[in-house]
Amino acid sequence: MLSGVDVRVGLLGPLRLIVNGTDVEVRGPMRRAVLALLALAEGRSVTVGHLLDALYPTDIPDSGRHALHTHVSRLRAHLGPAAERLTTLQDGYRLDLDELDLTRARMLLAGARTGDAVALLREAHALWRGPVLVDLLDVAPIAAAVEGFARLHRDVTDALVDARSPPGRPPPCSTSRPPPTRQTRCASPRFCCSCARSPRLDGHQKRCASAASTAAGW
């Protein structure tokens, strides 16, 4: 039986681990990468092979399995009374969470189709907290996931702008464009979804950003 301790992970910004409402600092890029990879599985098992391939993309050292086991043990220590949420399986691990912001954002976007669209989409939009996992983008599966987060952010923003548009009037602009990367510019005035630098916006992007800001209630 899982503990009654509330465990949450935030991926839509700097990586966060929250245990019973308290932020727990997870140090070290590899340990943080392991936490992010386990959280990305959304409650599914992650094989040791997948984790090792992600952490050591060119050559897995002889000490790789031991190092991974050490990081998992340290993560259990970070979880404290919820250590049993990180389960060892036959050839992998599973992390059981009470909430993942990524899952929450998807649920809110889906719920906006039948519920109070503006309120739900504002809540979803607010889940993005700043530059997304920028210290972990050298881990290929995490970098790929961040591209998906950017597409989801764009879908939420577009839906919010549409929901706030008066009936019969077309939305002021579309923010639909290829997902931003560290090499492309982001259309958000609040932060760049995939890079730590402040974005430089052209005229159209500024108009889109202004519309999105108004819709989000900034």
Tens of each residue's pLDDT in the chain, 218 residues? 356 899 999 999 999 999 999 999 999 999 999 999 999 999 999 999 999 999 999 999 999 999 999 999 999 999 999 999 999 999 999 999 999 999 999 999 999 988 789 999 999 999 999 999 999 999 999 999 999 999 999 999 999 999 887 665 555 554 444 444 444 444 443 444 444 333 444 444 444 455 555 555 55
Q: State residue 213's pLDDT score.
A: 53
pTM of the model: 0.78
Q: How many CA atoms lie within 13 A of 101 on its CB side?
A: 22
Q: State residue 114's pLDDT score.
A: 84
Of the candidate CATH numbers 1.10.357.10, 3.40.50.2000, 1.10.10.10, 1.10.3720.10, the domain formed by 7-95 belongs to 1.10.10.10
Q: How many CA atoms lie within 13 A of 197 on its CB side?
A: 10
| Token output for 118 | 């503006």
**Separation of first and last alpha carbons in the chain:** 42
